[in-house]
Structure formats: C-alpha cells, structure tokens
Structure 1
Amino acid sequence: MDKYKHLRELMVETQILERGIRDKRVIEVMKKLPRHLFVPENIIDDAYDDRALPIGHGQTISQPYIVALMTELIELKGDEKVLEIGTGSGYQSAILAELAREVHTVERVLQLAEESRKRFERLGYKNIKVYIRDGTEGVPEEAPFDRIIITAATPEIPPPLVEQLKEGGIVVAPVGERYSQYMLKAIKKGNELERYYLIPVAFVPLIGKYGWKDES
C-alpha cells in the first residue's frame, strides 16, 4: 500500500496541483482515495498514470486531472445532492460521495453498475445509490438536484437533466461532437443555462434518448 500512497501523492503533485486545481477538499480526497481499486487488475499498476484507462465495455476511467477539474467545477461544499450520469468504474462517484451529502449515479451497462455497487459496499459508502437505466433521462423521482455531472460526451445537456437541476444549480459536462468536445460548466438561471466553455476534451459518447445512438 505504501507504493500506491506514494503514487497518489505524485499524481496529485504533478498532474493536479501543477495544472492549477486549488480546491483543498478535492486535493485531499484525491490524495486519499485508492484509485487502483477502481481499475481492472491487469492494469492496476497504471492506475495513477496521466491518462484515461479502459475498464471494459468500451468505457474508461477518466484521467485524474479531468476528474479533479470536473469535481472542482461543481463547487461542492458538503451538503449537496448530486446526480452523476455515467458511473463507469465508480471512481468519480466515490470522489463525489466524499465531498457531498448524497450521490445518485446512473449507468447503462449492467456489469459496470454491479461492479461499482460492490466496490462502494466494500469501501463503506452509504451515500451512493446506483441506477441502471438511460442516463439522459436522469432520475426524476429523486429530483431536484443541487449539482449534475455528466461523465460522457453529449451533443447538448439533455432537457430532462436541465429540468431536474435546482435553480442556481451547476451542471458540468463534455459537450460537442461525438469525438471532440469542450468542458462546459453551466448554472441554471430561470429555465435557462448560463454557459461557460472551458478546455477541449474527448470523452466516450453518452448513449441514450437525448444523447448519441448506440453504434455497436
């Protein structure tokens, strides 16, 4: 475990602090959370590399910096109810669960959802609820949400998610074309989103009714 502790500290120092992440709570949780427990065993030694990694089913665990950036952008103070679209390995979900009151996370791939659910149980998370459904339709029965984070590329913020976001709430997502996007931070004002486009990114596509069609 000392090896992974060292790798986590190195990851935070060289990939996160040096790129300008300043939220102390985000920095501390990324130093603490064992990222290597969220990747397949055959690539466990790559867990802290400066890149996205495959987790099966055509999905990835995002680059550590991108996880830190998206988490910082939604400005968590500790009492928020968060909706995450795209559970994947569950790493981002666990980061959110450390920093918010409760996390509702949606995954369309059954096996990934079940694996993540087991990870959360093993790690003792009681404030994460996993849903297996079309993430573009959100979780209306639990709305409204203080924050929404979409961890897959979407052509636009799905209308149901805008509806499920509280007034003054923040949504962060990679928005654009299927293979290239910009990170968007948007704040709900009235029924509109005040938008701030940030860095170029490339995420796997968000598949669903209000996302991209499944081409597999």
Structure 2
Amino acid sequence: MNVRLLEKEGFASLFLRLRAEGIADKPLLTAFEQTPRTLFVSAAYADACYQDRLLPIDCGGFAESADLVARLLSLLAIEPGHRVLDIGTGSGFLAAVAARLAERVLTVDRYKTLVQLAQQRFAHLGLSNVTARQADGTKGLSGEGNFDRIISTGAFEGMPRLFVDQLASGGVMLAPILKDDGRAQMARLTKIGSRFEREDLFEVPYRALTPAVAAAL
C-alpha cells in the first residue's frame, strides 16, 4: 500500500476510534490529520503505525499509539499562544502534533539520536515553532521561563514538585507517576498558587525516567 493511502486509511480509522471515545476537538483532529505518522516510525512498522499499540523506535524506546497521544493532548487542552514543554521526545510525533496547536513547543530527550531524528522530521514538515534538545528530563528545562503546559512520557517516582516553578499560574502538567506495583498512572497536575492539585487518570505504558543525558546514542 502506498504511503498516502496508508495515511488516509489510518487516519480515518483513528478518527472513528477517537469519536467513539468522545474526542471530537476539531483543531486537535486537524493537527493529527496534518501530521503524517508514517514519518515518525521505521518503514518496517509503517503498516502498523495507526494501530492502537506500541511500536519500537531507536535507542531501545517505543512510540505510544496515536490513540494515546490524542487522549493525552485532549486532556492537556493546548490553546493558541501556549508554550509547551514535552519531556521524552521519543519519535517526536507528540511534539509535532502539539506544535500545530501551540505557539511554541520545546521537547527534550536524553538520547542525542532521538533529538536529531525528531528535529529532521520537524524540519521536513516545516514546523519552525518546535525545537528538540538533548537534556535531563527529570529536571525539566530551566532558563526558558514558565510553560503553560508540560507533558512527560517518562514516569516519576513520586510527585514532580520541582516542576511547579516551571509552570505558569493555572498551568497544567500531565505526568505519569509510578505506583507501588511498578506500573505508571497518568496524573493531571494543575498549578494552584505554589502547589499542584492532582487528579489521577488512567494507567499508561511509560517507563521510569532515567536521570542525566545518555553518554552514547
């Protein structure tokens, strides 16, 4: 099947699944339609890129399904003018879709290879408002001012309280938090004053964040 047809049929099936879940936000769906997912996975997995499953990527990582990306971005509720921090670039797909909704997206990953690949993909799509950097995601990104939205696709051992200082007032962070059994629960953290108001959501397949940047890859 050629890539264009694969994208068209893949997005159509995704669209129907999201509508069934109650996700019908037009700007969000348009952002997905404008961001070809085949560009973010290896050719070996192109046929599966719109399936609701994890897909292997470089550096031993995985790309979450487009379904999960849509659920998370719907909950993040990005608005025009927002500055967004994405922790855990991975394939770059989430950041690319977010860039079509936000004013500015900064995405960080500990692996230089993933950062470089993502930046190439952003350039290919003409997305000039998203930048990938190699950095320690456990510390966020200081020196860049406050963000309106922060999303992490790596899990924290406990409440990531240091991120309160990196969020604008009323800002929202989506962060997976590890439970006692080792599984990760996505939480929506809303900045109220100088603290977080926490709402637990659903289990997610994310692994624990690893501190520091990778020495290789």
Give the TM-score taking structure 2 as reference length: 0.90
Partner Cα distance (1:153, 1:179) in 2: 10
8 Å Cα contact 1:149-1:172 kept in structure 2 = yes
Q: Equivalent residue for 1:196?
A: 199
Q: Equivalent residue for 2:34?
A: 32
Partner Cα distance (1:157, 1:60) in 2: 24
RMSD: 1.5
Q: Secondary structure at the match of 2:21?
A: coil
Alignment of 1:136-147 (within 5 A): 136-147=138-149
Tell me which amino acid in the other structure corresponds to 1:160. Answer: L
Partner Cα distance (1:151, 1:80) in 2: 19
1:157 Cα deviation from its structure 2 partner:
4.1
Q: How many positions carry a matched residue from both structures? A: 208
Alignment of 1:1-216 (within 5 A): 1-14=4-17, 16-177=18-179, 179-208=182-211
Partner Cα distance (2:125, 2:34) in 1: 12
Partner Cα distance (1:44, 1:6) in 2: 12
1:160 Cα deviation from its structure 2 partner:
3.2
8 Å Cα contact 1:175-1:184 kept in structure 2 = yes
Post-superposition Cα deviations, 1:86-113, rounded to whole Å, max 9, x if no partner, equal: 0011000001100000001101011111
Relative distance call for 1:179 and 1:5 in structure 2 (3 A) is farther
8 Å Cα contact 1:170-1:187 kept in structure 2 = yes
1:158 Cα deviation from its structure 2 partner:
2.9
Structure 2 stretches lacking a partner, 5+ long: 213-217
Q: Equivalent residue for 2:215?
A: none
Q: Secondary structure at the match of 1:172?
A: strand
Tell me which amino acid in the other structure corresponds to 1:155. Answer: E
8 Å Cα contact 1:9-1:31 kept in structure 2 = no
Q: Secondary structure at the match of 2:57?
A: strand
Partner Cα distance (1:208, 1:37) in 2: 28
Q: Equivalent residue for 1:212?
A: none
Partner Cα distance (1:20, 1:139) in 2: 33
Q: Secondary structure at the match of 1:77?
A: coil
Aligned-residue identity in percent = 34
Give the TM-score taking structure 1 as reference length: 0.91
